[in-house]
Structure 1
Amino acid sequence: MDALLELFRLEQPPWQMVLRGSAIYWFLLIVFRFLLRRDIGSLGVADLLFVVLIADASSNAMQGDYKTIGDGLVLILTLVTWNYLLDWASYRSPRVWRLLAPRPEPLVRHGQIMHRTLRRELITVEELMAKLREKGIGDLSRVRVARLEGDGQLSVLTYEP
């Protein structure tokens, strides 16, 4: 029984783990949101960040990089809390949502490719055309507007046949 209790004992002050976890979460959120490009069809930035950090924290706790499971659980709880709070704040406040989610960018307007936007988003014409073909569109003249949404998905509005 003592061995089991020893596994869950906290060796580091919880405030220190909360502070470290929070600092890393916010740093990576800023890096992913503002410095890295989004890919067509990728996970949302916050989702990717959450998965990576939870995997890392869980891995460290399981591998023994933390001295106890309790230390790992405090860090995981910190990350889960930040993820929930950001989701909640995004739901409640359009201002927070706009800050965290990139705005939609037009890739095609009235059948014309917006090359400047493609360059800024680091998307090739071939990638764009492949995504349009996946949506059953082979002719650009049918596209009224195609946008790269904040979550990385491509949305397309076509002219009526």
Structure 2
Amino acid sequence: MFDFWQGAEGLPVYGYMIRATIVYFYIFFIVKVLGQRSMSSIDALDFIFGVVIGDILGEPLTDGELPLAGPVGAAAMTAGLHLGLSVLALRAPRFRRIIEDEPVILMRHGKILHKELKKAKITLEAFLMDLRLNNANDLSEVDYAILEMNGSISVIKKSNYESVTLNDLDKNVPSKGYTSVLIEDGHIIEANVKKFGTLDWLRDQVQQKGFANVKEIFVMTIDETGNIYVSPK
């Protein structure tokens, strides 16, 4: 009866399906416990965790003779170590430098630091590509280029080439704030609607936008200034 957990020779198809379901929700639970930080950027610690977890829990999904208890326990131990190191890095700055690389300045005051590029094992072509991806095609506009701990390169342009803001023009514009989804794929998100009005108010907005009902709308959002965006199906 519990062959899917203990493992058995010639494990039936439904046993693999049960295992896959268990592993899927188990990894989902681990990720939720560790927090979104592990998903936002992949640094060395997160990369190791992803590889090890995948290897531990991947094998029992293909080999039905292996018991599931061992890999599940090993995965929990790995997740605990990962969480422990992350917490320790937050509380101990000196230890943080061991597991997290410090940012490396690759370009300072418009000058490319060749030695730093060489240390980081980044070719000039790859460096220029990253600058282009940061909308910095003209090297004369770049003040700093920094290799971040997750491997991406951030660019700080010289002040003369920064985009002009409304604050620079002495114009006060109300903040649009957070955008909330009112309708998604023809379904009303009532929790969000209640923040701005009633369902009758929403239906009036839908009609004002030229739609007969919410079923015709793929997505409808509103920001904190009351600006509404609608995309039809």
Structure 2 contact 6–66 (Cα < 8 Å) conserved: no
Instruction: Using structure 1 for the length normalisation, give the TM-score.
Output: 0.71
| Offset at residue 63 of structure 1 (A) | 2.6
1:159 to 1:4, Cα distance in 2 relative to 1, 3 A: closer
Instruction: From the CA coordinates, give the structure whose radius of gyration is larger.
Output: 2
Deviations 1:96-134 (A, max 9, x none): 211111111111111111111111111111111111111
List alignment gaps of at least 5 residues for structure 1: 8-41
Which structure is richer in relative contact order (CA contacts within 8 A, separation 6 or more)?
1
Counterpart in 2 of 1:91?
Answer: 90
Inter-partner Cα distance in structure 2 for 1:51 and 1:4: 24
Counterpart in 2 of 1:68?
Answer: 67
Counterpart in 2 of 1:44?
Answer: 43
Q: Which has the higher helix share?
A: 1
Query: SS at 1:67's partner residue?
Result: coil
1:71 to 1:159, Cα distance in 2 relative to 1, 3 A: same
1:124 to 1:66, Cα distance in 2 relative to 1, 3 A: farther
Query: SS at 1:59's partner residue?
Result: helix
Structure 2 contact 6–69 (Cα < 8 Å) conserved: no
Output the aligned Cα RMSD: 2.0
Inter-partner Cα distance in structure 1 for 2:103 and 2:2: 56
Matches of residues 78-117 of structure 1 in structure 2 within 5 Å? 78-117=77-116
Aligned residues: 127
Counterpart in 1 of 2:119?
Answer: 120
List alignment gaps of at least 5 residues for structure 2: 8-40, 161-233
Query: SS at 2:143's partner residue?
Result: strand
Structure 1 contact 46–83 (Cα < 8 Å) conserved: yes
User: Residue type matched to 2:88 in 1?
Assistant: A
Deviations 1:48-82 (A, max 9, x none): 11111001001122233873100111111111111
Inter-partner Cα distance in structure 1 for 2:130 and 2:63: 44
